[in-house]
Amino acid sequence: MIARKMNISHASLAEWGLSHIKLRKDMIILDVGCGGGANINHFAQITTGGRVFGIDYSPTSVKISKEVNKKYIVEGVVEISESSVSNLPFEDNTFDVVSGFEAYYFWPDLINDLKEIYRVLKINGELLLVNEAYKCENKEVRKVVEKWAKLGSFKLHSPKEYREFLTEAGFSEIDIYEQKEKGWITAIAIK
């Protein structure tokens, strides 16, 4: 139920985050923490000449994501599996884009997990992180997201901290976009 609700509740966040990158129809994309599969579905509609892969450590999320993307799985465009960001089951230099929507909060070892993503990205490939909560300047929004972070036992990062952890993992050309009124952040980092 939560995975299905996330597909609806995160739709505008995902649309905003995706507005910061250009997708081509021949791209090979990995969505890490694919949840309910809505973003995979969006990618599959665009990358008609490419492939889209999704992973999630939750068997329930994988099941729902497969249901949502059944058409594209049958067509051979999408593949979804249960896996961890800490040990991605893909060869080096495989993906044009790796995305993480509302996912990095739950990665067990942020720097090493980002290095694992770096490994599977092609040279000049893009990492796209889109999140609904961060250490923003908007005090009203920040108060709400800090409460959610405490309930979910996850850490919030400032734009500066995003830049620092992405740099530490090996990424360059890091762009950070904020939607301060809503407390949204998107980070794009190039391998």
pLDDT tens, residue by residue, 38-67? 999 999 999 999 999 999 999 999 999 999
pLDDT at 6: 54
| Residue of 42, 51, 41, 48 lying closest to 21 (CA atoms) | 42
For the segment 131-159, the average pLDDT, to the nearest whole number, is: 83
Q: Which residue has the tokens 């949840």?
A: 35
Between residues 141 and 132, the one the model is more confident about? 132
pLDDT band at 4 (very low <50, low <70, confident <90, very high): very low
For the segment 144-163, the average pLDDT, to the nearest whole number, is: 85
Q: Which residue has the tokens 């000449």?
A: 49
**CB neighbour class for 139 (10 Å; exposed up to 12, middle 13-18, buried from 19):** exposed
Average pLDDT across the chain, whole number: 91
Q: What is the dihedral of CA 57, 58, 64, 70, to 10 degrees?
A: 30
In order of their start, the domains of the chain are 2-190 (3.40.50.150)
pLDDT at 3: 46
pTM: 0.92
- How far apart (Å, rounded) are the C-alpha atoms in residues 184 and 181? 8
Q: What is the dihedral of CA 177, 181, 183, 187, to 10 degrees?
A: -10
Task: Average the pLDDT over each of 129-138, 143-152, 178-187 and give the range with the smallest value.
Answer: 143-152
State residue 57 phi and psi, 5-degree precision: -85, -10
Counted residue by residue, the chain has a size of 191
pLDDT at 10: 64
| Residue of 99, 62, 93 lying closest to 79 (CA atoms) | 62
pLDDT at 20: 97
Between residues 8 and 174, the one the model is more confident about? 174
- How far apart (Å, rounded) are the C-alpha atoms in residues 176 and 128? 10
pLDDT at 76: 96
For the segment 86-102, the average pLDDT, to the nearest whole number, is: 97
pLDDT at 130: 97
pLDDT at 154: 82
